[in-house]
Amino acid sequence: MLTVYYSCDKDDGIVKEVLNTEVATPVFKTLTYETADAIFNRLRTDVKITKYLKLPEGSTLQSKSTQDTLGLTIATDIIKQVTLGTYTSYTMKIVHQTDSTVFYNLTIEDKNGVSSMLVTKYTPTDYWLSNKGEAYQGGIQSKKVNKLTEFIDVEAPFDDDLLDGNNDYDVGAGPGGSAGTYSADYPTDCFGTVIISMEMITHLCQCVTPGHLPGGCNDCSNPGYYEYVPRYSCIDDGNYNPDVPDDSGGSIGGVSPPDPIDDTSIGVSIMPEECTERLPGDIDGDCKLSPYEMCMKSNNNYSQEICDCVADGNVIATCIFNDNCKKINEQNSGPEHMAKIAFLKTKFNAPTEVGFSYKANGIYVNLNNFTNGGHSLDIEITSDMLGFAHTHLNDKNIGNFNGDGIDDIEKRIRIFSPKDIRTFLQLLENAHNNNLATSDIYGTMVSSSGTYILKLDGDINNVLTQFTPSMSGQLASLAMKNKFKKYFNEYSNIEKAFLHFLKNEVGVSGIKLFEIKNNGTIKEKKLKQNGNVESNTCPD
């Protein structure tokens, strides 16, 4: 009977799996060639595989062979050791140079003082190749091997003509076979091959709804974690039938099942991409970051919707744009929000600005604090605040201010001010510190020149590193206000003036400007390389 443990864990030491209360507990340990123990060194000599071993890069030991000289190479950067009672085995990856998704492992073992080895072939399904965090799915073949030969094709262990001696012991499903149905319970009635695959279970952090991936929360008491749980499947080899009498003519009671210690070979499956240390953000353990995994890295703080879009093969810029469009459209189609915006549009000639903030619990709160008794709102941020909307007023006739007999006009700039930008950036910082989704944060300005919204491109790191306390103070200063006005003297297009100011004076990348037309059309506004404004219309 062959028991194969499929490992996709990141064990730094010993990992124990308790099969059940009646079955002995196998002990796992990850080694390298340089840290392997005396039993490994004896076994590699006994089964004569030393010349096929390829040492890890940077090893201080001299490599015995390479793929170029002998064809067959056994990688030793990862060696999975299993012990169970007096049984010990070591599994290594067989280097496979073709583009095939099939992969191979070699296991050398000490079973009751006898040294032996076996080659295991894995033929995974397409589904498992895209979902390696789940229990292994696909065909498995294992072949007892008495002696390796110098062959080029790694498939050769499954061709008896290329193996020395009696190598006809074959266990497990064929290339097209299946590892069967997996269960959380160990199959104690299995007399054949038990496949044990480690499945990764993701427990999201519970500090915010929806929860983030582990590591995505800041100062969270329940930050989430990855759990690796065993899944079991049995492939019966047909060599034991409890319903058949024994040789003495006895009944079922005379039949003795295989002894789990004496008759079980144990190997730990090593994937082709498996490495000793998982990269930060490597969800499936293949030692590299896919576009989806790069998106999901906790320090990027992209939403699940954005990363799901990336997983579908889209570039992240398109996914961020579509996500922002979707959220703006959902917000604007809400009856209460529509009523609030419609009310603001009646207040362009009011003596002071009018506005409201929006809380995480869905409550709107009127804003009524004004800067130094003037007409401009001073927006106070609370820990549960997601956004704000406010008016910018029309130009105001202030009368014959200078005594020349001609009425003077107080010009108002009807787009976000430097202080509005500062408030939006402070809201993003607040969201990050309080585990609110930064993709939900917004700032809205409503005026007779149009309705505009500020959103983030999804990467909060730009704000955390570029929006410094010094920049925060500058955005509220009179000097910055005067700089701001100069851009609107230079450019007659308010969108162009604002975007150039944002680029040249603020310097926080990732702030996106959207315009909402009266007919509900949403357009992103950004600068082209020639400095003019480009409009990208959101999908319906």
If you write DSSP's letter for every residue of 133-184 in order, what string do you get?
TSPP-EEEEEEEES-----S-TTGGG-GGGS-S----EES--TT------BS
- Residue 437 φ/ψ, nearest 5 degrees: -70, 120
Contacts for 426 with CB less than 8 Å, ≥ 6 apart: 381, 472
Question: Could you state, in chain order, the average pLDDT of each consecutive group of 10 residues for the chain (540 residues)?
Answer: 44 41 65 90 91 65 41 82 85 76 88 86 85 77 73 58 37 39 66 65 68 60 69 61 50 46 66 64 69 73 82 87 93 92 94 92 86 72 94 81 69 92 95 87 95 89 88 93 94 95 91 94 94 93
Let me know: does 82 contact 88? Beta carbons within 8 Å: yes
Instruction: Write down which residue in 229, 247, 276 finishes a domain.
Output: 276
333 Ramachandran zone, left/alpha/beta (phi>0; psi -120 to 50) = alpha
d(Cα 193, Cα 1) in Å, to the nearest integer? 6
Q: Token pair of 119, please?
A: 């080659």
Here the tokens at position 344 are 């603001």
- pLDDT for 12 equals 41
Non-local CB neighbours of 160 within 8 Å, separated by 6+ positions:
167, 168
Domain match, 349 and 266 both: no
Whether 281 is covered by a domain: the verdict is no
> Nearest to residue 326, comparing CAs of 430, 455, 219?
455
Which pLDDT value is given to residue 145? 79
19 with 149, same domain: the answer is yes
Same domain, 269 and 395: no
Q: Say what the pLDDT of residue 10 is.
A: 42
Query: Is 249 part of any domain?
Result: no
Three-state secondary-structure class, residue 33: helix
My answer on whether 515 and 448 are in the same domain is yes
415 touches 447 (CB < 8 A): yes
Whether residues 268 and 410 fall in one domain: no
Kindly report the number of other CB atoms within 10 A of residue 306's CB atom. 25
CA–CA gap between residue 522 and residue 455 (Å, rounded) = 13
Tell whether 439 and 516 lie within a shared domain.
Answer: yes
Question: Are 379 and 494 in a shared domain?
Answer: yes
Question: Is residue 460 included in any domain, yes or no?
Answer: yes
Same domain, 267 and 365: no
Q: Is 299 part of a structural domain of the chain?
A: no
Residue 462: its pLDDT value, please? 82
Of the three residues 276, 311, 343, the one that is the final residue of a domain is 276
Residues 47 and 159 both lie in one domain: yes
Contact in structure between 7 and 268 (CB atoms under 8 Å): yes
Asked if the structure places residue 286 within a domain, the reply is no
Domain boundary among 241, 276, 311: 276
Contact in structure between 454 and 426 (CB atoms under 8 Å)? no
Q: Is 253 exposed, middle or buried (0-12, 13-18, 19+ CB in 10 A)?
A: exposed
| Angle at alpha carbon of residue 337, lines to 335 and 340, rounded to 5° | 110
- Looking at the structure, do residues 268 and 374 belong to the same domain, yes or no? no
Q: Please check whether residues 267 and 407 belong to one and the same domain.
A: no
- Assigned domain for 378 exists: yes
Q: Tell me, yes or no, whether 268 and 144 share the same domain.
A: yes
CA atoms of 24 and 1, how far apart (whole Å): 15
* Side-chain half-sphere CA neighbours of 412 within 13 A: 23
Domain that holds residue 63: 2-182+262-276
pTM for the full model?
0.57
* Residue 309 placed within a domain: no
Helix (H) or strand (E) holding 74: strand 74-84
Name beta bridge partners: 526. Answer: 534
Count: domains in the chain? 2
In this structure, are residues 142 and 158 in contact, taking their beta carbons and an 8 Å threshold?
Answer: no
Domain-embedded: residue 191: no
Provide the pLDDT for residue 327: 93
